[in-house]
Structure formats: structure tokens, C-alpha cells
């Protein structure tokens, strides 16, 4: 496997699309690569081999993250990279682009024999999406020692525990606490925007200021299953009707607060439902996000009150369990300015914007200076088979990343981070 010289547009796109062929469901559109599945493991191996082919020191850590290192004159290290898991039937660019572009950037710096004070390391995080287990950013949390041993007991929809899933790909759950290999001093994540602001404003480079905080719930509504023909309306405890009210409460909250918050019900299940029975048990998810954690907390309280009132009206039990809570994080102002300067030197216009999508930079940004670089997403489509970013934009992002990494590796750090 040969890494393209200079990170040519065609080369980056080629490896992205090649990685995109590794999926759990080859007969379906889109890419599905959930944590610790066979497809996930194949992608992990491909990324490792690509790092080796690029001449990087490569290894896999205790949770399946893949690292590729370009040694500088010190062990102080600037990280880059993203995640290689996907949502179900997702796109080929989300996450994977930051990994491929990071490998290409380090390969080019190595090929040019660019002197580096700090070392550079690209990391492919094992999980970020939360598409298999009720957790997110497993790979980046592990890297900074922020995982909970209780997470090992979490199960997927098939009842397989995270503990057993790790063992299925040759990992030892008892060792799922990797220590930092080196002195990590900063992180720069390159990503497709997953929105339409850059495309609409015709800006090739986005610079992220704040990543929205988010929380995810599993809501369980328990009523009473009953005969659809003989049970009168006044005697029904219909879990689905109650849940439907709650879904609409989430929708109305989003409509009324879209300027600074967004909420979504992405999954709803009627358990043991049949056409001739009143539904007795329903579960659904809630995804709530805001750039301001206080606003998010207040909206969460409002939703819980709405759910409680729906439960009372319909005589059902409602339990809303929060399984993910990630605070909003501001990116390093120094890295933001550095990215702007690099882009201007490359004659690429920039747009400062916030990210409503969660990212690994959100986790690492609480432990070290972090920055995010966006490139346009066609029509803002993401988490979908039609996700697309042009080869030209892919190449522009890699050029900016490469120059930011070189300068961060060689410049003095300020207190707030950056280089």
C-alpha cells in the first residue's frame, strides 16, 4: 500500500473510498462499522497497514485505537486524527477523513525531512459515534484515562456486553486503561463539516470555536398491554400514545430553541407489539445539544417535566435515564488563530463557526489545547450514504492540517495552548 505523494486530491479520496468499502452490510448503501465488529477490525488493520506504509511507527493500544508516530527531537507530542467507527448506514467521510489526511500529512512531512521539535502522532480512535453501545468517544476517553469500568457491563441491542465484544477482537478488558505513551500537548482534528455553512458561504476552511455539549437519554414508558378491540379508551394505559406526546414535546422544544439548542428522538421501539394490542412498553432515545451547558440543563428539566405530565395523563410509568453527558468545550484560541494564519498563507478563505456535532476534540479539549478544522460537506449531508466532500476540498484540508501541525510542532506554546 503506497501513500500518495503530497497528499494529492485523488490519493486522499482513493483511500477514503477504499476504507469505505469495509462495512458490516456490503449489500446496503452507506457504511456501517460499529465498535468491535468484524468490519471494525478489518478497518483497524487497514489503517495500521497504511500507517506502516507511510513510514510511521505504528501500534494499536488496549482499546483498539491505532497510532502512527513521527518522532521529533522531543517526546512532547502534538496529536491529530479522528474516529473510524460509523453510524449505521453512514458515510465514508465522517471521521475517516481526519485519519487519512493525518496519515498523509505526516507522511509528507517525513518525506520532506522537515525538522520537528515536538513529535507528531496521528490516532485513529476506535469509537466515537455510540452506534453499538450506549456510550460515545470510547477511544478518546480511554486515551486520557476517562473511561468507567462499569461501561464494560453495557450491552448492545443483541445483549452482547462491551466486555465480551472486546474479547471477540482479541482485546483484554482488564487492560482497557491505556496510559499516555508520550507527553501529549495538543490535538488538532480535521473533519468534514456535517453541515452546510461552508458550502453556502463558499468558504473552503472552517475554524471551530465551540463544540456543543450534548446528552443522550433512554426513555422507558410502561403502560399496560390490552386487547385493541375490547378495551375502552378510558381504561387504556397506552405507552405508545404517551410516548408520542413526549416525542412531540422534544420536537417543539427544538423548534422553540433552535438558535442555541437542538433535540432529537432518533429511535423508538414498541416492545412485543402486535396490530391488535394496545402497546404496553415503549422505549425511545433523546439527543439534546447546546453550546451552553446551563441552557441544556434547563431544557432537560423542562423535557422531564413534560414527560412526567404525559405519564400522569395516560396512566403510564416514565423513566428517563441519561447515559451520556458531554460538556460544551471551547477550542484553543491560539490554535484557532494559527489555523487562520496558515489558511491565509495558502490563500484559502476561512469561516469561524461552532460545531453542533460531537467530536473527539470535545474530549481531548478538556485535557489539552485542541483545535478543529472543517472542510465543506455537500448540501450539509452527513450520517448518510450520500455524504460527500470534493477531492479539492479534501486536499485543501490536508494542506492546512499539515502546516498547522508543522508550526505547532516547532513553535513555543502559550498558556492557553496552541503552538
Among 416, 410, 415, smallest CA distance to 76 is for 410
The closest of 241, 196, 194, 235 to 221, measured between CA atoms, is 241
Work out the end-to-end distance of the chain between its first and last CA atoms, rounded to an integer number of angstroms.
33
Q: Where are the alpha helices (DSSP H) in 112-225?
A: 138-143, 162-168, 197-201
> Given this chain, do its domains 5-212+329-410 and 213-326 carry the same CATH topology?
no
All 3 cell numbers of residue 4?
A: 500518495
Q: How far apart are CA 131 and CA 86, in angstroms?
A: 7
Q: Residue 179 has what pLDDT? A: 63
Nearest-angstrom CA–CA distance, 59 and 125: 12
Answer yes or no: is 276 a known binding residue: yes
d(CA 222, CA 319): 9
Consult the annotation and say whether 383 binds a ligand.
yes
CB 172 within 8 A of CB 60: no
pLDDT given at position 4: 47
Q: Is 235 annotated as a binding residue?
A: no
- The H-assigned helical ranges of 315-416 are 333-345, 360-364, 391-410
Is 337 annotated in a binding site? The answer is: no
CB 187 within 8 A of CB 369: yes
Measured CA to CA, the distance from residue 57 to residue 133 in angstroms comes to 31
Q: Please name the helix (run of DSSP H) or strand (run of DSSP E) that holds residue 14, with its range, or none.
A: helix 9-20
H or E segment and range at residue 221: strand 213-222
Looking at the domain that runs over 213-326, which CATH code has it been given? 3.30.70.360
Q: What pLDDT sits at residue 181?
A: 67
User: Does the annotation place 129 within a ligand binding site?
Assistant: yes
216 is in an annotated binding site: yes
Are the beta carbons of 265 and 285 closer than 8 angstroms? yes
> Do β-strands 350-355 and 205-211 pair in parallel, antiparallel, or remain unpaired?
parallel
Do 318 and 258 meet the contact criterion of CB atoms below 8 Å apart?
no
Phi, psi of 157, deg, nearest 5: -65, -15
CATH of domain 5-212+329-410: 3.40.630.10
Q: In this structure, are residues 120 and 109 in contact, taking their beta carbons and an 8 Å threshold?
A: yes
**Sign of the C-alpha dihedral, residues 48, 54, 55, 57?**
negative
> What is the pTM for the complete model shown?
0.87
pLDDT (tens, 9 = 90+) of the chain, 419 residues, equals 444 444 566 789 999 999 999 999 999 999 999 999 999 999 999 999 999 999 999 999 999 999 999 999 999 999 999 999 999 999 999 999 999 999 999 999 999 999 999 999 999 999 999 999 989 999 999 999 988 878 889 999 899 999 999 999 999 998 887 666 679 999 999 999 999 999 999 999 999 999 999 999 999 999 999 999 999 999 999 999 999 999 999 999 999 999 999 999 999 999 999 999 999 999 999 999 999 999 999 999 999 999 999 999 999 999 999 988 989 999 999 999 999 999 999 999 999 999 999 999 999 999 999 999 999 999 999 999 999 999 999 999 999 999 999 999 998 644 444 33
Q: What residues does each domain of the chain span?
A: 5-212+329-410, 213-326
**The pLDDT value given to residue 180:** 63
Name the residue among 215, 216, 200 with its Cα closest to residue 353. Answer: 200
Rounded distance between C-alpha atoms, residue 344 and residue 347, angstroms? 5
3-state secondary structure of 34: coil
CB 144 within 8 A of CB 363: yes
Query: What cell numbers appear for 370 in the block?
Result: 485542541
Angle between helices 391-410 and 333-345 in degrees, nearest 10: 120
Q: Are 286 and 311 spatial neighbours (Cβ–Cβ below 8 Å)?
A: no
Amino acid at each position: 500500500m503506497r501513500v500518495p505523494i503530497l497528499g494529492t486530491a485523488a490519493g486522499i479520496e482513493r483511500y477514503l473510498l477504499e476504507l469505505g468499502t469495509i462495512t458490516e452490510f456490503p449489500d446496503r448503501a452507506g457504511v456501517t462499522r460499529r465498535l468491535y465488529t468484524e468490519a471494525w477490525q478489518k478497518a483497524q488493520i487497514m489503517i495500521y497497514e497504511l500507517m506502516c506504509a507511510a513510514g510511521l511507527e505504528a501500534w494499536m493500544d488496549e482499546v483498539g485505537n491505532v497510532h502512527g508516530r513521527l518522532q521529533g527531537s522531543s517526546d512532547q507530542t502534538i496529536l491529530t486524527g479522528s474516529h473510524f467507527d460509523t453510524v449505521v448506514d453512514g458515510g465514508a467521510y465522517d471521521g475517516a477523513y481526519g485519519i487519512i489526511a493525518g496519515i498523509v500529512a505526516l507522511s509528507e512531512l517525513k518525506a520532506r525531512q522537515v525538522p520537528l521539535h515536538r513529535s507528531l502522532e496521528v490516532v485513529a480512535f476506535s469509537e466515537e459515534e455510540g452506534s453499538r453501545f450506549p456510550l460515545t468517544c470510547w477511544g478518546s476517553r480511554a486515551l486520557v484515562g476517562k473511561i468507567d469500568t462499569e461501561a464494560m457491563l453495557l450491552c448492545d441491542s443483541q445483549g452482547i456486553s462491551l466486555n465480551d465484544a472486546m474479547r471477540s477482537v482479541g482485546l483484554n478488558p482488564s487492560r482497557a486503561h491505556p496510559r499516555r505513551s508520550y507527553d501529549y500537548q495538543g490535538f488538532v482534528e480535521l473533519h468534514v463539516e456535517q453541515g452546510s455553512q461552508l458550502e453556502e458561504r463558499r468558504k473552503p476552511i472552517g475554524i471551530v470555536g465551540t463544540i456543543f455539549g450534548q446528552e443522550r437519554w433512554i426513555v422507558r414508558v410502561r403502560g399496560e398491554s390490552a386487547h385493541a378491540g375490547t378495551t375502552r379508551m378510558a381504561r387504556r394505559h397506552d405507552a405508545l400514545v404517551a410516548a408520542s406526546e413526549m416525542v412531540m414535546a422534544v420536537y417543539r422544544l427544538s423548534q422553540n430553541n433552535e438558535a442555541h439548542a437542538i433535540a432529537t428522538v432518533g429511535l423508538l421501539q414498541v416492545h412485543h407489539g402486535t396490530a391488535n394490542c394496545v402497546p404496553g412498553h415503549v422505549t425511545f432515545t433523546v439527543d439534546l445539544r447546546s453550546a451552553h451547558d446551563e441552557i441544556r440543563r434547563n431544557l432537560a428539566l423542562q423535557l422531564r417535566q413534560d414527560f412526567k405530565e404525559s405519564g400522569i395523563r395516560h396512566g403510564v410509568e416514565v423513566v428517563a435515564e441519561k447515559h451520556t453527558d458531554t460538556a460544551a468545550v471551547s477550542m484553543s484560541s491560539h490554535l484557532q488563530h494559527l489555523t487562520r494564519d496558515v489558511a491565509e498563507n495558502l490563500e484559502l478563505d476561512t469561516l469561524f463557526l461552532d460545531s453542533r456535532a460531537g467530536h473527539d476534540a470535545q474530549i481531548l479539549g478538556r485535557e489539552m489545547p485542541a483545535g478543529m478544522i472543517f472542510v465543506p460537506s455537500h448540501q450539509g449531508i452527513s450520517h448518510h450514504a450520500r455524504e460527500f466532500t470534493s477531492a479539492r476540498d479534501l486536499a485543501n484540508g490536508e494542506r492546512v492540517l499539515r502546516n498547522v501541525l508543522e508550526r505547532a510542532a516547532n513553535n513555543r506554546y502559550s498558556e492557553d495552548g496552541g503552538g
